[in-house]
Amino acid sequence: MAEKIGDHLLVTGRTNVGCVRPLNEDSFHIDLNVGLLVLADGMGGHDAGEVASAHVVESITRTLRQFMAASSGEAEGGGGSGAEEKGDAAVPQSRDPREEPTLDDLPNPVMKIVQEAIALANDELNRLNRDKGHLDDSGMGSTVVGLWAPVFSAYPVVFHVGDSRLYLFQRSQLSQATRDHSLYQQWVSFGGRGVPPPQNILLQAIGPSRVVTPDVRFLSVEPGDAVLLCSDGLTGMVSDEQIQATLQAITPDNLDELCDRLITMAREGGGKDNVSVILGYFL
């Protein structure tokens, strides 16, 4: 059943093992208090892919929960006293004002905490791989895609690593808001010359390498817009055109129905992979 995040976002989600795989290596979570939608697609075989995806979802959720709790505590405690104690020492008077950072130079705190949450999830999973004796660029891993809509941010933040996607459905048009970190997408971006590489080879994922570079950005949304987060179990079986046609019927009252329909479409298309979807509707 669809649930509400704040005053402006209705969400629901589904996951299904598909028609071929013996177990489901996808994980997703909707955190109403944090304002988080996050979905991960694990890789690494039995007792590895499902562990990786569950760990990534849990770790990112935990970090953002801790950030929100700390922020709430600071607000309740009255953060003004710290600034008063620092007084003029907060900005040394002898420093050339031209050396002071501009607003453009300062990291956005919302984007920064997301980047830190992903880095921590990667570090934890990579450490597990190393503890098991895996070399760099090997061992279990996971994609991740998410949307974080904290109450204090004017726009939600979209983040991803790998080829799990977030689509924006706006004014009856579907657009992919993330770009796959895959060899195939790189081939397309460089002009698509020659024989296309396989579509399932990732350039990065969470876990195998010590460093990961997520894409993190704000997403401009309006009332009536919808977002779809999904694993490649959907996009590998259902075309963007079919997804767009399905979402034409979206309303605040039928998110569960459309989630079920997308899962069914993936299964009817072959269901070769686990399939997970999260649908969000902005009020």
List Cα–Cα distances, 163 to 9, 32, 153, 217, 226, in angstroms: 24, 25, 26, 16, 20
User: So what's the pLDDT on residue 95?
Assistant: 40
Name the class of domain 3-70+105-282.
Answer: alpha beta
pLDDT over threshold 50, residue 269 = yes
The string of pLDDT tens digits covering residues 72-103 is 776 555 444 333 333 333 333 334 444 554 44
User: So what's the pLDDT on residue 109?
Assistant: 86
User: So what's the pLDDT on residue 97?
Assistant: 40
User: So what's the pLDDT on residue 65?
Assistant: 97
The residue-averaged pLDDT of 114-127 equals: 98
User: So what's the pLDDT on residue 74?
Assistant: 66
Q: How confident is the model at residue 108 (pLDDT cuts 50, 70, 90)?
A: confident
Structure letter (DSSP) for residue 108: P
Closest CA to 114 of 168, 158, 83: 158
Q: How confident is the model at residue 198 (pLDDT cuts 50, 70, 90)?
A: very high
Helix (H) or strand (E) holding 139: none
Q: How confident is the model at residue 47 (pLDDT cuts 50, 70, 90)?
A: low
User: So what's the pLDDT on residue 266?
Assistant: 98
211: burial class by Cβ within 10 Å (0-12, 13-18, 19+)? exposed
